[in-house]
Amino acid sequence: MMRTLRRVAVLMALGAFATQSLAIDITVMPTQEQQQRYDDLTHEFRCMQCQNNSIADSPVDLAAELRRDVKEQIISGKTDDEIRATMVKRYGNVILFRPPLSGSTAWVWIAPLVVLFGGVVVAIVVVRRRSAMVAGDDSTVDTDLPPAEEPADRP
């Protein structure tokens, strides 16, 4: 039984590593400058299928197509801003890991600050109320209670 469990664990670990190895992008650009631009851009774009991976890190076919598209645009001489604009036009701001601050994306930038501020306010209110409860508590501590019974030893 243990031998079978070990084999299953090893196969699962190998499967996890195999999936990760599929996501390695081996694209080589003609110049070092183009390679750097390619690497930077492919890490800026979100995989539309995976959502939490960049297209550089995603093993799915859609990400491979987007990487190929970025490569072709770089080789054709487009600037980084033109490539970003093309991707945003095609997929919307959701493709960018860092969307620009605009009316439709303002909540992405403002919501974390609002939640943080709300948490600080709640923490301050709770601490003040508890402090007031302790300061206004005139009750005495009962010291005449019998000691609690200890649990019996377990077999």
Cβ neighbour number for residue 42 with a 10 Å cutoff: 20
The neighbouring-strand residues paired with 54 are 46
Q: Three-state SS for 54?
A: strand
106 pLDDT more than 70: yes
pLDDT score recorded for residue 14: 62
Q: Which has more pLDDT, 3 or 79?
A: 79
> Going by C-beta distance under 8 Å and a sequence separation of 6 or more, which residues neighbour residue 83?
41, 70, 73, 74
Which residue reads 């992008």 in tokens?
25
Residue 1 token pair: 């039984």
Q: What is the pLDDT of residues 28-61, one digit of tens each?
A: 888 999 999 999 999 999 998 887 889 988 889 9
Q: How far apart are CA 127 and CA 124, in angstroms?
A: 5
pTM: 0.55
Could you give the percent of the chain with pLDDT greater than 90?
38
Cβ neighbour number for residue 48 with a 10 Å cutoff: 18
Cβ neighbour number for residue 143 with a 10 Å cutoff: 5
* 3-state DSSP of 95-146: HECCCCCCCCCHHHHHHHHHHHHHHHHHHHHHHHHHHHHHHCCCCCCCCCCC
Q: How far apart are CA 72 and CA 81, in angstroms?
A: 15
Residue 28 token pair: 């080589």
Q: What is the pLDDT of residues 53-90, one digit of tens each?
A: 899 888 899 999 999 999 999 999 999 999 999 999 99
Q: What does pLDDT average to over the chain?
A: 82
Could you give the percent of the chain with pLDDT greater than 70?
75
